[in-house]
Amino acid sequence: MDIKENRKNHDEKTIFYSTAKRLLTVVQSLSTARDLVTIMDIVRHAVRDLTGSDGATFVLRDDDHCWYAEEDAISPLWKGRRFPINVCISGWVMLNREPAIIADIYEDSRIPIDAYRETFVKSLVTVPIKTTNPIGAIGCYWKDRHITSYDEINILQILADTAAISMDNINYQNNIAAQALQLEKAMDDTLLAIAKMVEQKDLYTSGHQQRVANIGRAIGEEIGLEKACCDMIYRAGVVHDIGKIGIPSELLSKPAELSAEEFNLIKTHSEAGYQILKNINLLIPIANIILQHHERLDGSGYPMGIGGDEILFEAQILSVADVFESMTSHRPYRPALGREAALEELITNKGKLYSPTIVDALVHLVVDKGLRFQD
C-alpha cells in the first residue's frame, strides 16, 4: 500500500468515526427529548450536519395530507404547508413505506414539479418515519445534482427510526400523565363528595374544611414545600373532620360548652376519619394526616398523644390551619374570637403546641401579606 492510499484510508476512517460519534450524540439527544418540537429541532439540524445537504424537512402525516412541520434549508422550502398525500413525494414515501432517492427531480414523474420550481432543490432523498405504519417522513435536499450514498440513506433511516421511538415515548408519557390527571381529578371529586356528606350533618363544619384546606396549602407554599406535598395537605384539609359523621348532630351543634364526656366523644373524630379512609390505597397518606391533626408538639394532643417529629409535618400544618380557622369562625357555643386572638394563641404556644416554622409562616401570610382566606 503506497503513502497516498494509506492517507486515503486514514481520512476515511476519521470521517467515519466523527460521523458515528455525531450520530450517537444525536440519538442520545433524541432519547431524552420530551416534546415533538425538540425532536423536530434535533432532526432537522442533524440531517444537514450529517449528510452535508442544503436542506432538510420534517413532515408529519395529517390524515390524507402531508404537513411540512419543520425545515432547515439554505432558502425556504414548504414549512407550514400541507399537500395531498397522493401528490407529494413525502406522501409517496409514506404510502409505499420505502425511501425515495431522486438524483434529478426534473426527471422523476413522482415529483409535483410546480411545488419545486421556486426552490433550490435538484436532488433529494426522503425516508419514512416508521416503516411499518409511517407517521411522517424526513427529507434531505441538495441544490446540485447529488448521487446519494448507501451511508447517507442509512444515516437518514437511523434518524427517522430514532425519531419514531422518541415520538412513541412522548405519546406514552402524555397518556400516562393524562391518566394520572384523571385519577387525581377522580380523587378530588371523591373527597369533595365525602366533605359534603359530613357538612350536611354539621352546619358549622360547612366551609370550615375548605378554608382549613386553603390555609394549609398556603402555609405549605409559604414554607416552600413541594407542590405534591401542598396538594396532599389541601386534600387532607378538605376532609379532615370526616370522622364527625359518626357523632350525633345535637352534640356537634350544641350551643353550650361540652361536658368532659361529650368532649371525649368529639375527640374520637380524628381516629374515626382515619378508619374511614385508611383502606383506600390512594388515600392512606391523607388518612394518616387526618389521624394526627389534633396532636400537639408537647404530646398533649389526641388521639395518640405523640409529640415533636413523631407528628407528620403535614399534620402539624393542618393543626395550625385548623386552630386559626376555628378561632376566627363562629361556633354554636361562642362567637368568632377574631384574627388577633387566633394569632395570639398560636404565637403564645409557638414551640410548645405548634411548630414555630409553621406559625411564623401563617403569621407572615396573615400579617405581612394580608391574606384573608375566603372559601
Q: Which residues pair with residue 61 across a beta bridge?
A: 66
State whether residue 280 is helix, strand or coil. coil
Measured CA to CA in angstroms, residue 366 lies from 94, 233, 324, 363 at distances of: 62, 19, 10, 5
Binding to Fe ion by residue 295, rule CB under 5 A?
Answer: no
Using CB under 5 A, which of the segments 23-31, 224-232, 241-249, 352-360 binds Fe ion?
A: 241-249
3-state helix, strand, coil in the chain (%, to 5): 60, 10, 30
110 contacts 118 by C-beta, under 8 angstroms: no
Between 241 and 295, name the residue whose CB sits nearer to Fe ion: 241
Using CB under 5 A, which of the segments 29-37, 150-158, 236-244, 323-331 binds Fe ion?
A: 236-244
Shortest distance (Å) from residue 294 CB to Fe ion: 6
98 contacts 137 by C-beta, under 8 angstroms: no
Residue from 71, 241, 314, 325 touching Fe ion (CB under 5 A): that is 241
Shortest distance (Å) from residue 240 CB to Fe ion: 6
Using CB under 5 A, which of the segments 56-64, 78-86, 233-241, 326-334 binds Fe ion?
A: 233-241
Measured CA to CA in angstroms, residue 182 lies from 17, 115, 294 at distances of: 48, 45, 32
Shortest distance (Å) from residue 316 CB to Fe ion: 14
Between 160 and 290, name the residue whose CB sits nearer to Fe ion: 290
Between 51 and 270, name the residue whose CB sits nearer to Fe ion: 270
Shortest distance (Å) from residue 270 CB to Fe ion: 6
> How is 310-323 classified by DSSP, letter by letter?
GS-HHHHHHHHHHH
- Residues that bind Fe ion (rule: CB under 5 A) add up to a total of 1
Between 92 and 274, name the residue whose CB sits nearer to Fe ion: 274
C-alpha angle 329-335-337 in degrees, rounded to nearest 5: 65
For the CA atoms of 15, 20, 25, 29, what is the dihedral angle to 10 degrees?
130
In the bound complex, which residue of the shown chain has the CB atom lying closest to Fe ion?
A: 241
Shortest distance (Å) from residue 355 CB to Fe ion: 17
Between 72 and 241, name the residue whose CB sits nearer to Fe ion: 241
Shortest distance (Å) from residue 208 CB to Fe ion: 9
Shortest distance (Å) from residue 351 CB to Fe ion: 22
Tell me the HSE value of 132 on the side-chain side, using a 13 A CA sphere: 2
Using CB under 5 A, which of the segments 217-225, 235-243, 338-346, 367-375 binds Fe ion?
A: 235-243
Between 55 and 216, name the residue whose CB sits nearer to Fe ion: 216
Helix H or strand E encompassing 225: none
Shortest distance (Å) from residue 241 CB to Fe ion: 5
Residue type, 105: I
Using CB under 5 A, which of the segments 158-166, 239-247, 284-292, 297-305 binds Fe ion?
A: 239-247
Q: Return d(Cα 129, Cα 102) in angstroms, integer.
A: 18
Using CB under 5 A, which of the segments 47-55, 144-152, 234-242, 277-285 binds Fe ion?
A: 234-242
Using CB under 5 A, which of the segments 22-30, 78-86, 182-190, 237-245 binds Fe ion?
A: 237-245
φ, ψ dihedrals at 124, nearest 5°: -155, 160
Between 71 and 241, name the residue whose CB sits nearer to Fe ion: 241
123 contacts 145 by C-beta, under 8 angstroms: yes
State whether residue 180 is helix, strand or coil. helix
Shortest distance (Å) from residue 232 CB to Fe ion: 17
Between 16 and 263, name the residue whose CB sits nearer to Fe ion: 263
Shortest distance (Å) from residue 278 CB to Fe ion: 17
Residue 101: CB partners within 8 Å, gap ≥ 6?
125, 148, 153
| 354 DSSP 8-state letter | B
Other Cβ atoms within 10 Å of 202 Cβ, number = 18
Residue 292 grid coordinates: 394526627
Residues in contact with Fe ion by the rule CB under 5 A: 241
